[in-house]
Structure 1
Amino acid sequence: MAENIGMSCAFFSLLFMKIRIEWRAIIYSFLGAIPGVIIGFETVDKILSAPMKKMIFVSVWCSFAMSLYMLNCEKKRITTSLIQNFKPWKIVILIFTGLIGGIFTSFAGSGVDICTFSAVTFLFRVSEKTATPTTVVIMALTSQFCFFYRGLVVADFDPLAFEYFKVCIPVVVFFAPFGSFLGSHFHRITLAWLVCILEIFAMIGFLATLPPWTLLFSAVLIMFCGFILFSLLADYGNRLMIKEAQQNNSKVILLFENC
């Protein structure tokens, strides 16, 4: 609930500062996130226990952080400010990404932002400088929908959680926009490192709960599979960017030949 207020304030600050945002990624990811959130609330959230939710969330995004670290180890990595050569299949990818992220968001409170971030940075090679504010906006919209669905449709608010919500409001209305302001001045590599550090702390927090060996084994397996998946995604994104660059060069050459 506090995320709804904080992210909305951060969203406003991004608009006020006129930060570059990939709106197409926001629109289509949000379209996928809506059914994802509903599916998550109605099915997944009821099936998984709290430790399992924590384990799945932390494991997947730790593998994402490792892949992001490996990606930024590439010297002179080429990035773009927006998604290039926007085609229908990219719309499908963004909607599917939003769907998966919406399911994660329903039981973990976050997910669609990181799913969208992984798609636009790994596959579409968009700079973290654009991807970060883009994911803030998509998370703001998704959290507003979650607040509406959980509060009015499901009507399942814990009174104690609502008291915590009221206490958190004065904090998030300041620090969320302030974080957006600071992030707008960071280099993309700095933003990538911050993402990695946050995921490391998330894993430390999970281990601090002393989970049973079954959850630890599952976490390692998910991290390994996730790392392979994100690495393949990054590799395909690199080859896709090279292919599109070659196609653009061919079009330029053909244009000059016809002149």
Structure 2
Amino acid sequence: MFLRIKRSPALIDNQTVIHPTDRLNKPLLFSTALALAVWLIWYAYSSPDSLSIIEENWTVTLTMVFGSFIAGATSEGGGAVAFPVFTKVLHIAPLDAKVFSLAIQSVGMTAASLTIIALRVPVAWPVIAWASLGGLVGVSISSTALAPLLPPALLKMLFTAMIAAFALPLTILTWQKRLYNDTLPFFGAREKAIWLLTGTVGGGMTGLVGSGIDIICFSVMVLWFRLSEKVSTPTSVILMAVNALAGFALHGFLLDSFNATVERYWLAAVPVVVIGAPLGAYCCTKLNSRAIAVILILLILVELLSSLILIPLTANIIGISLTVFVIFLWFYYRMARSTRYRPACERGEE
């Protein structure tokens, strides 16, 4: 159960729909026009093989129908769906799966971000600015220096361990009475450093598996800064869009990893993600914070179970993954216990 505090601009009523129906016409028209424009560009680029590309790669298209919606509606980017399905189910090379994740999110998450802006959904712009700067550093270092050194199975389990550690405190908080900030309580040099570092870590994870800055920054926003999931989720979507664009440009122009096979996967998914991701972003505005948290917890549970079932687990992978799980769980616990950024009324202030 969530507490509702009246007459407090620092708090958010989680049962209130932010945008009434009569204010949605222009944003929805914008999203429709955006989708049509992308379709026209896609068709002009892929013609005369447009339909054959989808027929040959229909499993990719189907995967991203669901992946793009999840990406727009939650803090788990489309890469968090694409990478495990590609590597575990479709047996696509991990590097190709990662590059595809970055490429397709550069379209879907950008479309979702533009929809969020058009809908005037509240987001934490200072977080986006400083975490994005760190994300550029992180994705560059991990893509060029770290990714070639680590085995794919270990990379995937590290990501799973990280988000599984976040699910535990999020589950506890979801069923407790708690208050939210709808904006950052204050933002000085300390906070800039925090988000620069958080973005670097998140960008590093994105460079390894094609997703990560969104869920890592989301966890810090919710657990430490006490931002509502309704603010943290669209903020994380925009962060992932910026990081995906940077990662895609890095692999496409500098590392030359965007090969013909990945390009065909990408072309097979573009028509659906430009609809699915904005639709997910819109549906997120209709959910309260508890619903958003519950959906995210269930997705993390699916991610954990699928990893345990499908990834070959060696003693080395298990040991490192458990270590990462414990380390992140400790950090998440410390963030959840911190009182620095709790709402003013919860701290006993006016």
Q: Which residue number in structure 1 is paired with residue 223 of structure 2?
A: 122
CA separation in 1, counterparts of 2:252 and 2:157? Answer: 26
Match of 2:128 in 1: 26
Q: Given that residues 157 and 307 in structure 2 are in contact (C-alpha distance below 8 angstroms), is that contact kept between their aligned partners in structure 1? A: yes
2:171 to 69, 73, 76: 69
Match of 1:47 among 149, 156, 168: 149
**Alpha-carbon distance in 1 for matches of 2:182, 2:346:** 15
CA deviation profile, 1:5-42 (whole Å, cap 9, x unmatched): 11011011111111111101000000100010111011
**CA positional deviation for 1:239:** 5.0
Q: How high is the sequence identity, in percent, across the aligned residues?
A: 25
The answer to whether 1:231 aligns with 2:333 is yes
AA in 2 matched with 1:111: G
Matches of 2:345 and 2:203, distance apart in 1 = 30
- Aligned residue for 2:45? none
Q: 2:180, 2:343 within 8 Å by CA — same for their partners in 1?
A: no
- The correspondence for 1:58, drawn from 142, 145, 160, is 160
1:128-147 equivalent positions in 2, closer than 5 A: 128-147=229-248
Which segments of structure 1 move beyond 4 Å, counting only runs of 4 or more?
242-248
Contact 1:83 / 1:120 at 8 angstroms: preserved in 2?
no
Deviation string, structure 1 residues 117-159 (Cα, Å, up to 9, x no partner): 1111111110001000000001011101111111112222232
State the alpha-carbon separation in 1 of the partners of residues 344 and 231 from structure 2: 22
Aligned length: 247
Task: Describe the SS at the equivalent of 1:241.
Answer: coil
Distance 1:222 1:248 in 2: 37
Q: Which residue in 2 is equivalent to 1:253?
A: none
Match of 2:308 in 1: 207
- The answer for unaligned runs of 5 or more in structure 1 is 250-259
Question: Structure 1 residues 196 and 246 mapped into 2: Cα distance closer, same or farther (>3 Å)?
Answer: closer
Equivalent position amino acid for 1:50 in 2: P
Q: Which amino acid aligns with 2:126?
A: R
Judged with a 3 Å threshold, the aligned counterparts in structure 2 of structure 1 residues 227 and 172 are, in CA distance, closer, same or farther, namely: same
1:157 is aligned to 2:279: no
Match for 1:84: what amino acid?
A: P
Query: Which residue in 1 is equivalent to 2:117?
Result: 15
Q: 2:282 aligns with which of 181, 184, 187?
A: 181
1:211, CA displacement in angstroms?
2.0
Q: Secondary structure of the equivalent of 2:142? A: helix
What amino acid is the match of 2:284?
Answer: G
Q: How does 1:108-119 map to 2 (within 5 A)?
A: 108-119=209-220
Distance 1:92 1:227 in 2: 21
1:218 to 307, 320, 325: 320
Please state how far the C-alpha of 1:86 moved relative to its aligned partner: 1.5
What secondary structure does 1:124 align onto? coil
Cα RMSD of the aligned pairs, angstroms, is 1.7
| 2:287 alignment partner, SS class | coil
Q: Deviations over 1:26-80 (max 9, x none)?
A: 00000100010111011111111110110100011111111211122322x0111
Residue 4 in structure 1 maps to residue 79 in structure 2: no
Q: Counterparts of 1:244 and 1:32 in 2: how far apart (Å)?
A: 32
Structure 1 stretch displaced more, 202-211 or 44-53: 202-211
Query: What's the TM-score, normalizing by structure 2?
Result: 0.67
**Partner amino acid for 1:135?**
S
* Kept after mapping to 2: 8 A contact 1:62/1:200: yes
Cα distance in 1, alignment partners of residues 224 and 311 from structure 2: 35
Query: 2:185, 2:343 within 8 Å by CA — same for their partners in 1?
Result: no
Which amino acid in the other structure matches residue 143 of structure 1? A
- Deviation, 1:233, is 1.1
Partner of residue 100, structure 1 = 201
CA 1:101–1:210 in 2, change beyond 3 Å: closer, same or farther? closer
- Residues in 2 aligned to 1:210 and 1:115: alpha-carbon distance in whole angstroms: 22
**In structure 1, distance between residues paired with 2:239 and 2:311:** 33
Deviation at 1:207, TM superposition (A): 1.5
Q: Would the aligned equivalents of 2:179 and 2:343 in 1 still touch at CA under 8 Å?
A: no
Q: CA deviation at 1:196?
A: 0.9
Q: For 1:106 and 1:42, locate their aligned partners in 2 and report how far apart those are by CA, in whole Å.
A: 8
